[in-house]
Structure 1
C-alpha cells in the first residue's frame, strides 16, 4: 500500500475486515452489527439500551434497527428497567448467548490469525499508532490544530 494516504489504508483495511465478518456472520443468518451488539451486551445481567450506542459507536437509528432485528430473531428480550421505569434493559436469550459465544470465537480466531502473522513488536506499534490517531481526532487536533497554526502565522 505504498503511496497511499493514512485514511485510505485505514478505510480499505476496515472495509476488508467488515466484509470478512459479514461474510462469516451471514453463514449463521446474522450480520457483523448483530455480532458486535451481542458482544457489547452483558451475558448474564441486563444491559441498558442507552449504554449500547456509545459502547458500539453506533447511531441511535442504526442501533434501533439492529435491536429490532435481534428481537425478531429471538436473540434478545427487552424488559423495563426496575430502577428506572423510563429505561429498558436488554437481556440475551439462550439463543442470544449461543450466538454471542459464536461471535466471540470468531473475533478470537481473527485475533489469533493476525497475531500468528505479525510480530508482537509490530502489533504494539500498530496499537500505539491507532491510539494516537484516535486521540488526535477525539481532541480535535487535526483540523483545529491547522487553524491554530494558520492563525499564528498570519498574526
Structure 2
C-alpha cells in the first residue's frame, strides 16, 4: 500500500521513528526496573561527580519540576540516588548516584549502545555520518522554533 502524502512528511517520519525506538528502549529498560525518564536522570547524573541540583536535571531531562520531584523520589526509593545538602545554598540539595545507581547507569549506557548498534547495522560510515549531520540540523531547527506555523482559518 502506498503511503499517504502525510506519511511522507519528514516530521511524521521522525516522530513515528522516535516513537518506535522509544517503545523498544522502554521495553528493554523495563527489565532493569526503570523507565526512560529515570534512565535519562541516571545518565545525566553520571557525568556530574559533584552531584546536580534538581533544577539542572529538569533542564537536562526536559520535564516539569513536579515531574522531576517524583522521578527523584522514585529513584531514591529504589536506592539509585541520594540527596545531600548543597554546600553553598542551605535551601537546596544535590542529587548523587549511589553505587547501585552507578552500576545501573553503566548497564543503561550499554543497553543504549547496543540499541544504537542494532539500529545502524548495515549503514556505511559515510551514510551514518551524513544522517547524524542532517538529524542534528533538524533538531537544532526544532529547538529554535525557527518556523512560524501558518495557520489559516
- Normalised by the size of structure 1, how large is the TM-score? 0.83
Matched, 1:100 2:112: no
Matched, 1:12 2:16: yes
Q: Give the unaligned 5+ runs of structure 1.
A: 148-155
Q: 1:57 aligns with which of 42, 59, 62?
A: 62
Task: Give the aligned partner of residue 31 of structure 1.
Answer: 35
- Compute the displacement of 1:85 (Å): 1.5
Q: CA RMSD in A?
A: 2.1
- Compute the displacement of 1:117 (Å): 2.3
Deviation above 3 Å: which 4+ runs of structure 1?
none
Per-residue CA deviations over 1:9-51 (Å, capped at 9, x if unaligned) read 1111111111111111111221111111100003633122221
Count of residues paired in the alignment: 146
Q: State how far apart, in whole Å, the 1-side matches of 2:110 and 2:32 are.
A: 13
- Normalised by the size of structure 2, how large is the TM-score? 0.84
Structure ID, larger Rg:
1
What SS does structure 2 have at the residue aligned with 1:86?
A: coil
Per-residue CA deviations over 1:97-131 (Å, capped at 9, x if unaligned) read 11111111111112222332222222222222222
Task: Give the aligned partner of residue 121 of structure 1.
Answer: 126
Larger helix percent: 1
Q: Give the unaligned 5+ runs of structure 2.
A: none
Larger strand percent: 1
